[in-house]
Chain A
Amino acid sequence: MAVAEGGVKPGKASFLYDARIRAIIYQVVMAGAVVIFFAWLTMNTLDNLEARGIASGFEFLNHPAGFGVPFSLIEYSEASPYKTVFILGVLNTLFVSAVGVVLATLLGFTLGVMRLSRNYLISRIAAIYLETFRNIPLLLQILFWYIGVLQLMPQQRSSIIILENVYVNNRGIFYPALQAEPGFMAVPIAFLVGLVATIILRGWVKRRRDATGQGFPTIWVGLGLIFGLPILAALVTGLPWTWSIPRLQGFGFKGGSVIVPEFLALLLALTIYTAAFIGEIVRAGIQAVSHGQTEAAHALGIKPGTTLRLVIIPQAMRIIIPPLISQYLNLVKNSSLAPAIGYPEMTQVWAGTVLNQSGQALECIAMVMGTYCIISLSISGVMNWYNARVALVGR
């Protein structure tokens, strides 16, 4: 008997010390804890909603919004339903992010290259820019541009004239707007045709160069196609547009178009802040390309400019792109600081105004977070696809 018992006991002990079984136990406990936790949250939430008399659900999306916004890309009035407000917010987020990404990339690449310049002054100026704007909080920069600069602009009556018919005042930048007349569509169509023709041309030039070694002035012909065709189209159709020019009348400007200060402040701050990070990324990326590459290219007799374009930059891009895209992602997320100045993007209109008006806290926050998740995941999806494409093939 004693022997049999002794034989069983170690078996029991080894059952608990079996790594696989322990893993299963851990996971069951973990899953159980998570389920219980979420059940507890749900119960509390239901209790709270009942106690406060809030009807959950998405019916409020069809109710009229009843408030105005300073900036909209779509048809919007105070009578529009909440769902229009949401679309408006998402579009405004995407719009300011898209413009910001383009400008920040241009400025950031310029700064990165300037930082590496052998010209002492240029390199120092870039370094000071990078260090300053990286180390000051974005929210402070947004407020500085909005309250410290744009709101201190003169009143409409004493606008600053920066160009013919372009006025700057505390209500934004007023500029002449293009008003299309019948036949105007020919111009953008010609532009698209030029673009497609250039892409086809580029393919043909590459094939011919690979086969025969003959060069072709692709850049000039391409520029000619992209810009020449629309100009030709405009001339042929007889300049089918008129300009609506801003005019000071009464207390404000009539006519023309306006860039509102809320948009301008957010865009400026996002561009300047993100460009500082992009500049650092570009600098690090170019420096990471081994010097032997430049020397080898020079030994082959390739000109310095061509070396940069065909040897250094393609290799640097492989290092630059992943952190660059994560900066783009940061820019999109940072556009959510707009509530501080009232630019009507997703967070401001939805997690701010609409949430307060409708009281549908859960639904509103979930929609905002969900949308940001979708945007973020799509951007990282693109990044992963690119990484897989340009990854060095191991040999």
Chain B
Amino acid sequence: MSTQDYGVTEPVFTPKPDLPPPASTVGVIGWVRNNLVPDWFNGAMTVVALLALYMVIPPIVNWALFDAHFVGDSRKACKPNVQIVRDKVATKGIMPDGTTLDVETTADRIVVPEGVIPNVRWERKMVEGVVRAKGREYAKVVVEKDVIIEGACWVFVGVRFDQFIYGFYPKEERWRPTVVIGIGLLLIIYMLTDGMPHRGRVAMFLLIPFPVIAFFMFSGGVLGMPHVDNAKWGGLVLTIIISSVAITGALPLGVALALGRRSQMPIIRWFCVLVIEFFRSVPMITILFMALVVLPLFLPPGTTFDQLLRVLIGVTIFIAAYTAEVVRGGLQALPKGQYEAADALGLGYWKMMRLIILPQALRIMIPAIVSLFIGIFKDTTLVQIVGLNDLLTMVQLAVTDAQWIGLSKEGYFFCGFVFFVFCFSMSRYSMYLERKLHTGH
């Protein structure tokens, strides 16, 4: 079998290597062409978007970073260290009827004292203003003056940081909330990680004994830990407490309401429908007002009830109504075969629910429950209106403090950032779960 047997071999056809794609469709140019200027309309939109970004981003970045003050321990650190001289200037004023007249006004000029490195930037620009002329009338004037470019004063957030997190919780006891929340977080992460052993037991531990332990850790009075009255709980810790208690209490209550709503027994069904629809149709703030002013009327005379507990009860029942609807969705999503198979095995109602239906339904519901929790987490800010000191309230108190007046933007930015970090990471987690659950289709 040698090649000579076949005589002369024809040259084998070898295709030339492919030409590279046109330069305009690959790399940076290709990406820009495809994603930014695929047609004239999108090109115009890109220009508009770039302009908008240019107008919005640099001022915010300058304010928050480059012109901001980070170091210091009092308001003084954020005060400009330059001298502002107010000069008198004679200029022309324009009256409302269009006539002009000579008026005198002031213009600021910035002087840097000897040996001082200015801690602010300023620019000279034309500023429009009004001056009083002819008694009660005002004239419009335009003067050139130095204007200091405003920067954020993060010193404020740094000084108040501990209060934003812990509220008025005593300083030397702050390790207690830190430990409880840290352990709780670790346990939740453990419970949600796939493939870890005993996840169910950890979940049960989180649901029943953990809140009790957490309560004693927060409140103290045992094991030599001094008692801390719950009026002192506050800040981010209180936000986390309220939202966690609400979801932990609302889950069992919501499951009960949802099962009741799907029950065959008309009285139970109608009662559950009524409760769910009532709480879903009123705003949470009315529930808080009710917990505040109406709940004391409902209880036997002389019963006193602390504020936090009243709010927790109100919020939990309110959230339970929403949880019930989520659970109902989960129950409805289960194929009917599961119910029939459980019936065929001869399981009673409770065994069927506990062993077959709820474990599957709860698993499908996790993304919806996470979304619900994000909602609760944001809604806890409402407790401000009934006088509890959650994170937002602590920020509010700080920005109305005489020493830090006028720094509300910094406070709100910080508060918004904290909420964003929490809610955004939770919503990403919920999206990840949804994708994971959808692989079967």
* Interface, chain A (partner B; CB < 8 A): 23, 26-27, 30-31, 34, 41, 44-45, 47-49, 51, 117-122, 125, 131-132, 134-141, 143-144, 147-148, 152, 157-158, 161, 247-250, 333-334, 336-337, 339-340, 347, 351, 355, 361-362, 365, 368-369, 372-373, 376-377, 380
Residue pair B412, A157 in contact (C-beta under 8 Å): no
Determine whether B46 belongs to the interface, using a CB cutoff of 8 Å to chain A.
Answer: yes
| Contact between A48 and B297, CB atoms less than 8 A apart | yes
Given contacts A147-B408, A355-B293, A365-B286, contact A48 B53 (CB under 8 A): no
Complex Cα distance, B383 from A139, in Å, reads 10
Residues of A within 8 A of B282 (CB): 333, 369, 372-373, 376
B42 CB within 8 Å of chain A: yes
Q: Per-residue 0/1 for B46-72: is the Cβ within 8 Å of any A Cβ (1 yes, 0 no)?
A: 100110110000000000000000000
Is there a chain A Cβ closer than 8 Å to B409's Cβ?
yes
| Complex interface: chain A residues within 8 A of B300 (CB) | 44, 47
Q: A131–B297 Cα gap in the complex (Å)?
A: 42
Per a CB cutoff under 8 Å, which of B266, B298, B382, B406 touches A45?
Answer: B298
Return chain B residues, CB-CB under 8 Å to A134. 423, 427
Question: Is residue B289 contacting chain A, with contact meaning CB distance below 8 A?
Answer: yes
User: Are the C-beta atoms of B49 and A135 separated by less than 8 Å?
Assistant: no
Contact A365-B289, Cβ < 8 Å, known A250-B136, A334-B283? yes
A380 to B273, CA, bound (A): 15
Give the complex CA separation of A147 and B282 in angstroms. 27
Asked if B379 and A339 make an inter-chain contact with CB atoms under 8 angstroms apart, the answer reads: no
**Contact flags B363-387 to A (C-beta < 8 A → 1, else 0):** 0000000000010001101101100
B103-143 residues with Cβ-Cβ distance < 8 A to A are 128-130, 136-138
* Chain A: minimal CB distance from B142 (Å): 12
Please choose the segment from B157-165, B168-176, B305-313, B413-421 that sits at the chain A interface, where 4 or more of its residues have CB less than 8 A away.
Answer: B413-421
Q: Find out whether the CB atom of A135 lies under 8 angstroms from the CB atom of B36.
A: no
Give A248 to B96 CA distance when docked, in angstroms. 9
Of A117, A143, A347, which contacts B396 at CB under 8 A?
A143
CB distance from A113 to the nearest CB of B (A): 11
A31 vs B268: C-alpha distance in the bound complex, in angstroms?
8
Task: Specify which chain A residues have a CB less than 8 angstroms from the CB of B284 in the assembled complex.
Answer: 333
Q: What are 9 residue pairs bridging A and B, where the CB atoms are less than 8 Å apart in the complex?
A: A31-B267, A34-B271, A44-B301, A121-B49, A131-B427, A135-B378, A139-B381, A337-B285, A347-B286
CB within 8 A of B293: which of A34, A135, A365? A365
In this assembly, does B232 line the interface, its C-beta being within 8 Å of a C-beta of chain A? no
Query: Which chain B residues lie closer than 8 Å to A125 at the CB level?
Result: 49, 52-53
CB-contact partner of B278 in A152, A333, A373, under 8 A? A373
State whether the Cβ of B399 lies closer than 8 Å to any Cβ in chain A. Answer: yes
Quick one: which of A27, A51, A117 has the most chain B CB within 10 A? A27
- Report how far A41 CA is from B382 CA in the complex, Å: 27
Within 8 A of A (CB), among B396-432: 396, 399, 406, 408-409, 412, 415-416, 419-420, 423-424, 427
Which residue of B35, B265, B289, B379 is within 8 Å of A118 (Cβ)?
A: B35
Cβ contact of A248, chosen from B42, B138, B385, cutoff 8 A: B138
A45 to B294, CA, bound (A): 9
Q: A26-B265, A137-B392 are in contact. Are A372 and B286 (CB under 8 A)?
A: yes
A333 touches B50 (CB 8 A): no
Least CB separation from B410: chain A residue: A148
Task: Identify A376's interface contact among B266, B281, B296, CB under 8 A.
Answer: B281
Q: B185 an interface residue at 8 Å Cβ cutoff?
A: no
* B297–A157 touching, CB < 8 Å: no
Known: A148-B412, A339-B385, A340-B385. A118 touches B38 (CB 8 A): yes
Taking a contact as CB atoms under 8 Å apart, the answer to whether A120 and B35 are in contact is: yes
> Can you list the 4 inter-chain pairs with the closest CB atoms, starting with the nearest?
A376-B281, A135-B423, A120-B35, A333-B283
Complex: A119 Cα to B53 Cα, angstroms: 15
Whether B289 contacts A143 by the Cβ 8 Å rule is: no
Contacts of B34 in A (CB 8 A): 118
CB of B280 within 8 Å of the partner chain: yes
**Residues of the B chain whose Cβ atoms lie less than 8 Å from the Cβ of A340:** 384-385
Is there a chain A Cβ closer than 8 Å to B264's Cβ? yes
A141 proximity list for chain B (CB < 8 A): 416
Report whether A368 and B286 are in contact in the complex, using a CB–CB cutoff of 8 Å: yes
Contacts of A250 in B (CB 8 A): 136
A51 cross-chain contacts in B, Cβ below 8 A: 301
**Is the Cβ of A121 less than 8 Å from the Cβ of B50?**
yes
- The residues of A that contact B290 with a CB separation of less than 8 Å are 365, 369
Indicate whether B45 reaches chain A with its CB closer than 8 angstroms: yes
Give the residue of B128, B280, B283, B392 whose beta carbon is less than 8 angstroms from that of A140: B392
Q: Of B96, B297, B408, B419, which one neighbours A136 at CB under 8 angstroms? A: B419
A140 and B419 contact, Cβ closer than 8 Å, known pairs A27-B266, A30-B268, A45-B298 = yes
A351 to B286, CA, bound (A): 8
Determine how close the nearest CB of chain B comes to the CB of A151; give it in whole angstroms.
Answer: 8
Chain B neighbourhood of A41, CB < 8 A: 298
B23 located at the interface, meaning its Cβ lies under 8 Å from any Cβ of chain A in the complex: no
The distance from the CB of B286 to the nearest CB of chain A, in whole angstroms, is 5
Q: For the complex, what is the distance from the CA of A340 to the CA of B392, rounded to whole Å?
A: 12
- CB <8 Å contact, B412 and A144: yes
> Which of chain A's residues has its CB closest to B38's CB?
A118
Expressed in whole angstroms, the minimum distance between the Cβ of A135 and any Cβ of chain B is 4
How far apart sit A347 and B283, CA to CA, in the bound complex (Å)?
10
* A148 lies within 8 A of B408 (CB): yes
Counting CB contacts under 8 A, is B223 at the interface? no
A134 to B293, CA, bound (A): 31
Q: Does B299 contact A (CB under 8 A)?
A: yes
**Do the beta carbons of A27 and B381 come within 8 Å of each other?**
no
Verify A122–B45 contact, CB threshold 8 A: yes
B265 touches A362 (CB 8 A): no
Give the residues in chain B near A30, CB-CB below 8 Å: 267-268, 271
Q: How far is the CB of B91 from chain A (nearest CB, A)?
A: 16
Contacts of A144 in B (CB 8 A): 408-409, 412, 416
Q: Judging by beta carbons under 8 Å apart, are A373 and B281 in contact?
A: yes
Evaluate contact between B130 and A158: CB separation under 8 angstroms: yes
Residue of B nearest to A120 (CB): B35
| Residues B283 and A118 in contact, CB atoms below 8 Å apart | no
Q: Are B267 and A27 in contact (CB under 8 A)?
A: yes
Q: State whether B297 touches A45 (Cβ < 8 A).
A: yes
Complex contact A140–B416 (CB within 8 A)? yes
Q: Could you say which of B38, B268, B399 contacts A27, with CB atoms under 8 Å apart?
A: B268
Chain B residues with Cβ under 8 A from A368's Cβ?
A: 286, 289
Is B46 in contact with A119, judged by CB distance below 8 angstroms? yes
Chain B residues 9-62 with CB under 8 Å of chain A are 34-36, 38, 42, 45-46, 49-50, 52-53
Q: Is the CB of A119 within 8 A of B35?
A: yes
A249 to B135, CA, bound (A): 10
Q: Report the minimal beta-carbon distance from B64 to chain A, rounded to whole angstroms.
A: 14
Please, which residues of chain A bring their CB within 8 A of the CB of B294? 361-362, 365
| Residue from the set B267, B280, B424 with the largest chain A CB neighbour count within 10 Å | B267
Please state if B281 and A137 are interface contacts (CB–CB under 8 Å).
no
Nearest-neighbour CB distance to chain B for A165, whole angstroms, equals: 10
State whether B265 touches A23 (Cβ < 8 A). yes
Q: Which residue of B lies closest to A159 (CB)?
A: B130
A26, A157, A336, A380: which contacts B285 (Cβ < 8 A)? A336
Q: How far is the CB of A360 from chain B (nearest CB, A)?
A: 10
CA distance A34 to B385 in the complex (A): 31
